[in-house]
Structure 1
């Protein structure tokens, strides 16, 4: 009898040691797409299995809890502790955006890796955003080949992509932008990205050149911002404070809570500065929030909201003498009137991702934008109010076309915008103190603008190495204007519409060698005139203005080298712009738009990134980005002056930016160099800015105080060489009353910054 008892006990012990099966699936964090060939390693037994085409795996576990490591090229490694009561689960991997070639483009209608995309897409990762002082977002864009940001002040920034938008006067236009799929560009085409805290973003994708087949009215390109989607359990609070030269300070607090399919993130930040120049005070409060919820069926709800309150004074531009001898001063009239801009802005968007089947899904978003602005300028005071509401829906279907694996995407985007703008006299000259004084009303207009984009795209793998991409967009834009100011005896009310636009696209990507692709593409783009451009000098609507259009032809190479340690990309492009919209100066700081000819934007861009581990504790990253521009007017005659063959102003003729990042244990050092070529000041090329070089440094040190508490220090120097340079220019500036034209916005001299961050995981 005793031997049977011993046998039973032994059998019980053996059964206790028999491995149990843990089943799970691995998905991409940003999109929820199943990931194949993920290495799943049991760190106790060192057993390794791989996920199948549906992202599923089954792992033997003999003892709980167990640590399991998940790894896949192009994604950050993740380690998960599996408790005894967990028999199955979902694991989400975040893309390693530094591994450029393997990054999946989220914002394209059809997601695919950068290397296989037949177009040029600039990627700014979370790590890239941490290489700068992080007071303002758009300064990071100048490291992307083909992109240039003219920086007049913290609130005076103008983005151009491949030279398109360079001749806009004081704001960014001709570029579409989204955050988590929610449109940020107004219905008339204007864009402000200064409001967003760079430390709240996970990544930025910049499509360069005409992209209307995907995004609609975006002749220059499209900028897509993404916040983090941390679907693995995470609960943390982050607070930080940064201080820099010119009494610049930033205070920030962030809460992340991720649990059981719920992803909540709230971010508050305040940025204040006295500014390098007089009349340059800046104060911005921002509140950003996102909520994501994954239901049991795998469908995903998300909510995004943003609130910004800004008051920023404007020093404006300087003439050459003041720029070189007294760059800290403000333009006289802007200083005397204490000119500034202020606004309250809200953005709310709700999105829903639904999977009908494994091969058929839909994403639908509805959004609302509101902006209430007030801007005293020397020549008048602008009071404006903008409300817009819209929706975007996109369907994706995986199928087979002529026995070739294919994916089809189709959908539509529409926006209705209600814009009220009025101006008043500025009586600042009638008071002794330095301030603006609102006088009589000068104008009051209401404009309702709406557009609709209908788009479709198909990607087909003709062979395992050849990908064909085809797209088409249809756009219809209309608006009506109501003149509510009758005292001037001029009524400019009316209904207007632009001709419907069809924008096709064709792209080819061929993997000639393993990990090395050649591509070619042709695409069409357009941009409609803004409100300011539609008004004549007499205040009438110019109904003869035409939509600006362009054709982009591009060839390039994208490839990995040395076991994926080095990624290189080179492309050549040619954009032909027709019905070129130009700003004609009609008064101090005032302009109107006219169609004045044709322009050719030709250029070469180069991107490279190298990453290696020198030792287990020492990591080296190198990058070299550059572009060379050959932008000129093809046929351009304005007011009898022939500018054909002249260089397009406002764009550096080249950008070269090498950089190094060295990480040793918890210390990281970033050294970035930027060289920019000269810029033409006006259409006649009567003068040029000087070429300039910037050298920047940032150090980060992470100090892990405990398992839950992390402390970080940072210190940096911008413009180490103390270079005198023009960070922005006002193209075609004109001197009035015998004064010299004010072309120049001085860049900041050598300046310092530093900060601390505390993160607590709970």
Structure 2
């Protein structure tokens, strides 16, 4: 099938015929991402040009010149001497975040103001507002995003009401780590293997993004690990301690050079936990870096090894929760229910710019993990491996005065799981119940074009075709061996997206989009822990309509982002828990998910010369109306009921204060309305309001030693609430208590060695 993607656009010419020519590339000095739309001009002349989607530019000039001026909204303007025929230019971001900050979502590398779609952004500055032991508090500040922690290090992510059904791990949301897919062989995403402090940037694309990222109706999360500073080498030590037996130790060494960089980091975190049977122990080693041997190509790599152990306390009934929220379910304690996981994630990517028009980025990855899990119902030992790759070729051209960009690419992976289920005899493996080999092959191809149309419009049109196949080979069970194979294939699905942005002024833009998504069941849903193979479970399909506007006002002090959406999901997959504790899945007709999301921030002060150098207030909110449609279970009709697990309102607000002397203070509050916990809407988790804060002092000593001492409090209101809920729990066991008031403090020392 061929899809012809073509847009016409008109751009006022700004180039002049030239006798000399200068080429170069413009890159963000912190993220190492190319910057599109930067203005490059000859000092004292009217000659100028703009960088393309890959950060490249060609500047012609008719006479001698010794310097150029480079500027981009949200970055520091630079005046640079001209030496040679090629310049590598690194732009430093301004201290405050403007709507024009460049984002990578939808593979455009465009300013957020010119991006059609709802994107939540967390930079290193926002991530460091919290204790960095978990991404939960930071992600929960984004409107429309809800991250739950059912047990210590057991995470689930919901984007606009999707993705709440995984028994463990994250599903229905695509996650990329340094542009490389982060995936577990069973189809879920092992987000708990990642130490939050190793992440330096997060972008959340809300709603279907199948035109570029393939299957998935929930959304896409782009993670970047921390990177070494340019022309700087450092060694740092960090120690943290706190309530609930918290201990954390971090050692980091990094080197940043013009031609590349390298970072090595070791993290160890220990936690006794708030509840009984909720201890955690995690060790993480990260090796990442990049190499730029020539101006045209960049190699990037990461190796991420994690060793994780955490206990599972189990959900409580409402009576147990009210009596003592710290208790664990007796069966979980008797069976020593826990997760014991060793994982290795390896990724390698290569970016190459052939010329001003053509470029390519290609990545390959491998995932290897071993799981040893005593659950309440059985004892699982799994060996997983997955291999895959992703490639994208971009072509930028002009038809006369019309500029257009095209992207074509694909992603594929093959995974294999050897899953053995034994009887659980109080935390020890007993007799074998069954031994399975599960192979999954999935992939998609995509095409996208975007263009800057006349009258300040930018349009995007794209689509992907996705396919998936599972094969189950049951080697043995209690009674027999070589039982045979079963297969489940899903027909290729086309997921289109069309989007349009209109700049109303230099500071304000409107955007609208229509997109569809396809989300097949994961292996954990096709083959739950009871050993059955569900051939009736159908993939989810959804269509999203969205309209929003964003921008800044009052000399960029006020920043706003508002979006409304209407999402219709067919064949919604819901979960329920059987009497023996097994989580099983079924399709539930359709859901209609409508919502309004807002983000507002106001920068009261931003002057490094004043005693109080920075002061900002902000607030994010989401209003949701999520309902089942055409959903019947036996003789019970749940149509028009609220979607389980989703609050109708969430509001987060905060204050950020910084002083010239180095003192800082971050305050965050969160309100979440009541949450239905079953499809019948007969049980609800109460609404809650919680607050937290982090304060500290940073100081540079002897020009090379940077010291920071910090401390904070979480759940300062000591509110009793359930952050992670078991939906449709059997025996009315729904509630997993969040920690009460707790404190933490730490010290970080960093030795910095500057290079010329």
Normalising by structure 1, report the TM-score.
Answer: 0.89
Q: Are residues 1:73 and 2:73 paired?
A: yes
2:180 to 172, 179, 182: 182
Question: CA separation of 1:60/1:199 partners in 2, compared to 1, >3 Å: closer, same or farther?
Answer: farther
Question: CA separation of 1:581/1:614 partners in 2, compared to 1, >3 Å: closer, same or farther?
Answer: closer
Query: Which residue of the partner structure matches residue 681 of structure 1?
Result: 677
Q: Contact 2:315–2:736 at 8 Å: present in 1 too?
A: yes
**1:555 deviation in Å?**
0.7
Question: CA separation of 1:297/1:25 partners in 2, compared to 1, >3 Å: closer, same or farther?
Answer: closer
CA distance in structure 1 between the aligned counterparts of 2:94 and 2:312, rounded to whole angstroms:
39
**1:97 deviation in Å?**
8.3
Query: Which residue of the partner structure matches residue 224 of structure 1?
Result: 222
**1:589 deviation in Å?**
2.3
Q: Are residues 1:600 and 2:592 paired?
A: yes
Structure 1 stretches of 5 or more lacking a match? 1-21, 42-46, 62-67, 429-435, 736-740
2:575 alignment partner, SS class: strand
Q: Are residues 1:731 and 2:727 paired?
A: yes
Q: Contact 1:404–1:463 at 8 Å: present in 2 too?
A: no
Q: Contact 2:376–2:581 at 8 Å: present in 1 too?
A: no
1:166 alignment partner, SS class: coil
Question: CA separation of 1:86/1:524 partners in 2, compared to 1, >3 Å: closer, same or farther?
Answer: closer
CA distance in structure 1 between the aligned counterparts of 2:229 and 2:330, rounded to whole angstroms:
53
**1:614 deviation in Å?**
5.5
Question: CA separation of 1:51/1:32 partners in 2, compared to 1, >3 Å: closer, same or farther?
Answer: farther
**1:249 deviation in Å?**
1.3
Query: Which residue of the partner structure matches residue 686 of structure 2?
Result: 690
Bigger relative contact order (CA 8 A; separation at least 6): 2
1:662 to 634, 657, 669: 657
Query: Which residue of the partner structure matches residue 27 of structure 1?
Result: 27
Query: Which residue of the partner structure matches residue 433 of structure 1?
Result: none
2:189 to 171, 188, 191: 191
Q: Are residues 1:647 and 2:642 paired?
A: yes
Q: Contact 1:158–1:171 at 8 Å: present in 2 too?
A: yes
Query: Which residue of the partner structure matches residue 566 of structure 1?
Result: 558
Q: Contact 2:497–2:513 at 8 Å: present in 1 too?
A: yes
**1:719 deviation in Å?**
1.1
**1:594 deviation in Å?**
1.6
- Count of residues paired in the alignment: 716
| Greater CA drift, 324-333 or 589-598 | 589-598
Question: CA separation of 1:759/1:440 partners in 2, compared to 1, >3 Å: closer, same or farther?
Answer: same
Query: Which residue of the partner structure matches residue 50 of structure 2?
Result: 53
**1:231 deviation in Å?**
6.8
Q: Contact 1:729–1:744 at 8 Å: present in 2 too?
A: yes
Query: Which residue of the partner structure matches residue 340 of structure 1?
Result: 338
Q: Contact 1:38–1:72 at 8 Å: present in 2 too?
A: no
CA distance in structure 1 between the aligned counterparts of 2:564 and 2:37, rounded to whole angstroms:
33
Question: CA separation of 1:518/1:358 partners in 2, compared to 1, >3 Å: closer, same or farther?
Answer: same
Q: Contact 1:532–1:592 at 8 Å: present in 2 too?
A: no
Query: Which residue of the partner structure matches residue 532 of structure 1?
Result: 524
Root-mean-square deviation (Å): 2.8
Query: Which residue of the partner structure matches residue 446 of structure 2?
Result: 455
**1:25 deviation in Å?**
6.5
Query: Which residue of the partner structure matches residue 308 of structure 1?
Result: 306
CA distance in structure 1 between the aligned counterparts of 2:137 and 2:78, rounded to whole angstroms:
31
Structure 2 stretches of 5 or more lacking a match? 1-21, 52-56
CA distance in structure 2 between the aligned counterparts of 1:50 and 1:560, rounded to whole angstroms:
29
**1:168 deviation in Å?**
3.2
Post-superposition Cα deviations, 1:323-366, rounded to whole Å, max 9, x if no partner, equal 11211111111112221101110011110000011121000001
Q: Contact 1:107–1:181 at 8 Å: present in 2 too?
A: no
Query: Which residue of the partner structure matches residue 424 of structure 2?
Result: 426
Question: CA separation of 1:676/1:222 partners in 2, compared to 1, >3 Å: closer, same or farther?
Answer: same
2:212 alignment partner, SS class: helix
CA distance in structure 2 between the aligned counterparts of 1:26 and 1:210, rounded to whole angstroms:
30
2:503 to 501, 504, 511: 511
Normalising by structure 2, report the TM-score.
Answer: 0.90
Question: CA separation of 1:750/1:365 partners in 2, compared to 1, >3 Å: closer, same or farther?
Answer: same
2:38 to 25, 36, 39: 36
**1:494 deviation in Å?**
1.7
Q: Contact 1:28–1:35 at 8 Å: present in 2 too?
A: no
Choose 1 or 2 for highest CA Rg: 1
1:619 to 603, 614, 621: 614
Alignment of 1:359-508 (within 5 A): 359-400=357-398, 404-428=402-426, 436-489=427-480, 491=483, 493-508=485-500
Q: Contact 1:189–1:217 at 8 Å: present in 2 too?
A: no
Q: Contact 2:518–2:541 at 8 Å: present in 1 too?
A: yes
CA distance in structure 2 between the aligned counterparts of 1:316 and 1:300, rounded to whole angstroms:
47
Alignment of 1:211-360 (within 5 A): 211-230=209-228, 232-360=230-358
CA distance in structure 2 between the aligned counterparts of 1:600 and 1:522, rounded to whole angstroms:
15
Q: Contact 2:37–2:110 at 8 Å: present in 1 too?
A: no
Q: Contact 1:677–1:691 at 8 Å: present in 2 too?
A: yes
